[in-house]
Amino acid sequence: MKYLNLIWANLKRRKLRTALTMLSIFVAFLLFALLCAIRHALSGGVEFANASRLIVRQKISLIQPLPRSYKERMLKIPGVVAAVHQTWFNGYFKEPKNLFMQTPVEAREFLEMHPEIVLPEDQKQAWLKTRTGAIIGKKTVQRFGWKIGDHVPLQTPIYRKADGDMTWEFDIVGIYDTNKKGTDTTPLFFHYDFFDEARNPRSKGMVGWYTIRVSNPKDAEKIAQLVDKEFENSDAETKTEPEGAFAQGFASQVGNIAFITAAIMSAVFLIILLVAGNTMSESVRERSGELGVLKALGFTNTQVVAFVLAESCLLAVLAAVIALLIGWALVTAIGDPTGGMLPMFYLPVKNLFLGLAIAIALGLITGFFPALSTTRMRIADSLRRM
């Protein structure tokens, strides 16, 4: 640390060049922060999935329904301790851009299956007793300014009522939170019985998918095979997979998020590597005489190499830290930029540390070859360049 002033003075030698290099690194790490937030928003459900829960869906496609009668048959399979169903409602509030998740469920069993949903007891009882009642996550409540007691109309292009009406009306009787980080608090849940009785008779008795809980997560793969075998050769064969794989399936609909973000950042950091490397090489060449003086004064090759590497790392880390902090602040301030389609849009702390590690690696790599060149530098030749 006692040589920090010397290192900082070297960076200030060419202020414009240093500023432009730092700006390039800043832009790269700001992009890194935003891409990390988007990637997490699209695939965060995979990370927080429950290992003891499996999803059972139609083998052909998620949009194909399953019979409600499958539930009793699933509960008879060894290792399955609970089963609940959900159905994608695809409703929106007032206009199509106000889209968020809604699903009809069997209320009591659904809450038992998902203990991460925190709902006050009085609101739970109100939901169980109110036929048109619905509970809504706190994020959507904040988005639309709803409160308990509100009468909310939703329109859906998928499900018409028996009379042909596409508008469904619900009474908000509960607002839930979560006790588990990463749980989505945007969906609205309402009673399946109300939904099934009111919808077009042609689709009655059908559900979207099932969530089943197994007694031992280690047996999940075997139980999944038993479930699929139970409905083999039926009119609606099933595909059973872990909750994380199901969430990954949703994310993969927009492409391979991990590959896309990795490809973009690899290209960006390769360019920054070249830019920063050129800056450090030029800086060392300009200061060869001064580095020779340091050696003449008794500084070892190791110390001179350390000076160059420290300068390179300070340049990269300083720009990266500023960019990561601004990126974190922007993501936090903006929240979900889609208004509800990316409910888990935030920058995890682990990505901040990952960015810092990348910055240090960037500094070491860009400074390595210029620093190595100083070890071959002869004092007499260096002094002649002054």
State which of 252, 271, 292 marks the end of a domain. 252
- Region 262-276: mean pLDDT is 79
Q: Quote the pLDDT of residue 284.
A: 65
Residue 314 has pLDDT above 80, yes or no: yes
Q: What pLDDT is stored for residue 120 in this prediction?
A: 94
Q: What is the mean pLDDT of residues 136-160?
A: 92
Pick the last residue of a domain from 207, 228, 252.
Answer: 252
Question: Does 126 lie in the same domain as 39?
Answer: no
Q: Which value, to the nearest 10 degrees, does the dihedral of the CA atoms of residues 128, 133, 135, 140 take?
A: 180
69 pLDDT tier (thresholds 50, 70, 90): very high
Percent of the chain predicted with pLDDT > 90: 37
Domain total of the chain: 2
- Report helix, strand or coil for 53: strand
13 pLDDT band, cuts 50/70/90, is confident
The range of the structural domain enclosing residue 328 comes to: 4-45+255-384
Look at residue 57 and tell me whether its pLDDT is greater than 60: yes
Cα 272-276-277 angle, rounded to 5 deg: 110
Same domain, 321 and 203: no
pLDDT-wise least confident of 88-97, 138-147, 176-185, 211-220: 176-185
DSSP character at residue 345: -
Query: Rounded to whole angstroms, what are the CA distances from 359 to 25, 327, 352?
Result: 9, 15, 11
Give the model's pLDDT for residue 65.
Answer: 92
Distance, in Å, from the CA atom of 209 to the CA atom of 86, rounded to the nearest integer, reads 6
Which of 21-30, 266-275, 335-344 has the weakest average pLDDT? 335-344
Task: Looking at the structure, tell me whether residues 213 and 352 fall in a common domain.
Answer: no
Helix (H) or strand (E) holding 59: none
- The string of pLDDT tens digits covering residues 161-184 is 888 889 999 999 999 998 877 678
The reply to whether 244 and 268 lie within a common domain is: no
Helix pair angle (301-334, 349-375), 10° resolution: 160
- pLDDT, residue 343, reads 56
Whole-number Å distance between alpha carbons of 219 and 50: 14
Q: What CA–CA distance (Å, rounded) separates 251 from 46?
A: 9
Q: How far apart are CA 163 and CA 161, in angstroms?
A: 5
Average pLDDT of the residues in 367-382: 66
Q: Is the pLDDT of residue 68 over 80?
A: yes
**Which residue is it, tokens 């003449």?**
296
Same domain for 225 and 286, yes or no, is: no
How far apart (Å, rounded) are the C-alpha atoms in residues 48 and 209?
19
Decide if pLDDT at 14 tops 60.
yes
Q: 118: which strand partners? A: 177
Name the residue among 86, 82, 88 with its Cα closest to residue 53: 82
Let me know whether 369 and 321 are in one domain: yes
Rg (the chain; Cα; Å): 29
Res. 252 pLDDT band, cuts 50 70 90: low
| Least trusted range by pLDDT, from 38-52, 125-139, 324-338 | 38-52
Q: What is the mean pLDDT of residues 360-383?
A: 72
Indicate if 266 and 199 belong to the same structural domain: no
Mean pLDDT value across the chain: 82
Mean pLDDT of 73-84: 94
pLDDT at 160: 87
User: Residue 211: left (phi > 0), alpha (psi -120 to 50), or beta?
Assistant: beta
Query: Considering 233, 252, 271, which residue would you say is the last residue of a domain?
Result: 252
- Phi/psi at 128 (5° precision): -65, -30
Q: Which residue has the higher pLDDT, 220 or 295?
A: 220
Please report the sign of the dihedral spanned by the C-alpha atoms of residue 102, residue 108, residue 109, residue 115: positive
- In a 3-state reduction of DSSP, which class is residue 369? helix
Of the listed ranges 93-97, 118-122, 304-308, the one predicted with least confidence: 304-308
Residue 202 shares a structural domain with residue 304? no
Residues 244 and 267 in one domain: no
* pLDDT at residue 315, as a whole number: 86
Same domain, yes or no: 260 and 292: yes
pTM (2 d.p.): 0.67
Distance CA 71, CA 122 (A): 29
Whether residue 298 sits in one domain with residue 366: yes
Closest alpha carbon to 382 in 274, 299, 277: 299
pLDDT tier, 20 (very low <50, low <70, confident <90, very high otherwise): confident
Same structural domain, 59 and 33: no
Distances (CA, A) of 111 to 5, 56, 84, 118, 119: 60, 18, 10, 9, 9
pLDDT exceeds cutoff 90 at 193: yes
Give the C-alpha separation, 46 to 60, whole Å: 22
pLDDT single digits (tens) 326-353: 988 888 776 655 555 555 666 788 888 9
Instruction: Tell me the pLDDT tens digit for each residue of 88-105.
Output: 998 999 898 888 889 999
